[in-house]
Structure 1
Amino acid sequence: MSSRKELKELRAVNRRRQNYIVVGIIALSAFLFTGAIILPSLLKKNIAIIERPQADYTSMGDKNAKVKVEEFSDFQCPHCGQFALTTESAYVEKYVETGKVYFTFVPFSFMGEASVKSAEAAYCAADQGKFWEYRDQIFGSQLSGDRSSLNRSGFISFAQTVKLEMGSFEECIDNGIHNDKVMNDIAYAQSKGVNATPYFIVNGALVDSSQLEAAIETALQAN
């Protein structure tokens, strides 16, 4: 009788555990589902327009800085968007604002036509002195999961957000004014051995994002 009672109690405990697990799974699923809806919405609504020090077309910082950094990035690359909107600001504050680094963004548009068109649109914004602001809008949309905005209507919406002169912007994107520049960027990246994004060249040395800070520090010490 004792063993039957123990077995019965054990089964009851197991049932309670299973119930707790089911409830936990349901709660976790609800949390993830809610986050999947809310987070993209928040990202869309909170893409801050950040001032870049000595911004010049697709570069920023002191042209005479001892260290030159080139970033190779694709507008459809999630890691590139994360670096641009969450990590880059620390490098700007530590190295660019202090005059130690001259930083240039190079679109490496290897992930398809949407990447190419995004880079063209960003160059059109650069013609009006708004490259960095426009770039952040593209990456913010991409991180929100809204890749459907990487088309003409999305590009126009981004342009309106950063207050571009719309007539010249639309003419620029509609006529592919910067297509040759984007193709040249791709060829340049490949000639330097870049085969992924985001990747960086620090005073001639090719590094990935995990090596960037160490490479900058090494370059600063060497100069």
Structure 2
Amino acid sequence: MNTKKTRNIALALVLGIALVLTIIFAGAAAGGKRLDSAAKPASSAAEEQAPELQLERRIAGDPMALGAVDAPVVMIEYSDYRCPFCGAYARKTQPEIIKKYVDTGQLRIEWRDLPVFGESSVAAAVAVRAAGEQGLFWQFNEAVYAAAPEKGKADLSEPELLKFAQEVGVPDMAKFTADTKSPELRALVNSDLAEGTSLGLNSTPTFVINNQSIPGAQPLDIFVQVIDEALAKAK
């Protein structure tokens, strides 16, 4: 075998190994991450046994939650009403998750506001909470996402938000309008935003199940896999 041919074979082997390593690292990066272990140095065995983050609220009668308060698994959704990917999830994937897991008592979904697109997103989050003050949080939530564009950010101006309130049948429009200016509701939105930011979340939607994050509007199969694993651990 001549020297040139030997060099060619060696180069091909090096390139092949590099390609395999690239695929492995890319696959690891694509999956969700543990929120309680990201960016931490190696720890002792005692530290590894420390309790995980407790993000679940499980508040009875919470208007921003779907499903039984004692469901074995809780999925927390961090979303922005102007986010087109959040809209895609709400229209296509969430109904299937509700039918398969929430309606059967296996899963509870808890909403968190993560308004990453500025003041309009904050105002929209406050408005949906204002509808929630009259028992129509999820109806308003669904109406906003049903009308959201496939691409680009939704125009959620004050007149648009008032139209959604009328569409879902908010009974006391005067109260709704006043509540959209409520400092208390705005503070709750900002508190959710601070929680998400403290976890390193900066894009929407992001879902958290047992402190395992699912970034983006993933296919239903991804949610099924993570939820089923959580249910198996809960038994």
Gaps of 5+ in 1: 1-53
Deviation of 1:148 (Å): 6.7
Report the Cα distance in structure 2 between the residues aligned to 1:214 and 1:70, rounded to whole angstroms: 16
Q: 1:177 to 1:154 in 2, by over 3 A?
A: farther
1:201 aligns with 2:208: yes
In the alignment, which residue of structure 1 is the partner of 2:197? 190
Letter in 2 for 1:218: E
Question: C-alpha deviations, 1:199-223, integer Å up to 9, x for none?
Answer: 1110222222434322111100111
Report the Cα distance in structure 2 between the residues aligned to 1:147 and 1:153, rounded to whole angstroms: 16
Deviation of 1:193 (Å): 2.5
Report the Cα distance in structure 2 between the residues aligned to 1:154 and 1:91, rounded to whole angstroms: 29
1:221 partner SS: helix
- How many residues in Structure 1 have an aligned counterpart in Structure 2? 170
1:170 aligns with 2:191: no
Gaps of 5+ in 2: 1-59
1:170 partner SS: helix
Report the Cα distance in structure 2 between the residues aligned to 1:119 and 1:172, rounded to whole angstroms: 12
Deviation of 1:177 (Å): 4.1
Specify which structure has the bigger relative contact order, considering alpha-carbon pairs within 8 angstroms and separated by 6 or more residues. 2
TM value normalised by structure 2: 0.67
Detail structure 1 runs of 4+ shifted over 6 Å in the superposition: none
Report the Cα distance in structure 1 between the residues aligned to 2:117 and 2:153, rounded to whole angstroms: 13
State how 1:145-164 maps to structure 2 within 5 Å. 149-164=155-170
In the alignment, which residue of structure 2 is the partner of 1:26? none
State how 1:1-223 maps to structure 2 within 5 Å. 56-143=62-149, 149-164=155-170, 165-208=172-215, 209-210=217-218, 211-223=222-234
Q: 1:191 to 1:213 in 2, by over 3 A?
A: farther
Letter in 2 for 1:201: V
Letter in 2 for 1:65: A
> CA RMSD of the aligned region, Å?
2.0
Q: 1:148 to 1:93 in 2, by over 3 A?
A: closer
Deviation of 1:191 (Å): 1.7
Larger Rg: 1
Letter in 2 for 1:222: K
Q: 1:214 to 1:193 in 2, by over 3 A?
A: farther
1:206 partner SS: strand
**Identity level (%):** 29
In the alignment, which residue of structure 2 is the partner of 1:30? none
2:104 partner SS: coil
Deviation of 1:69 (Å): 0.5
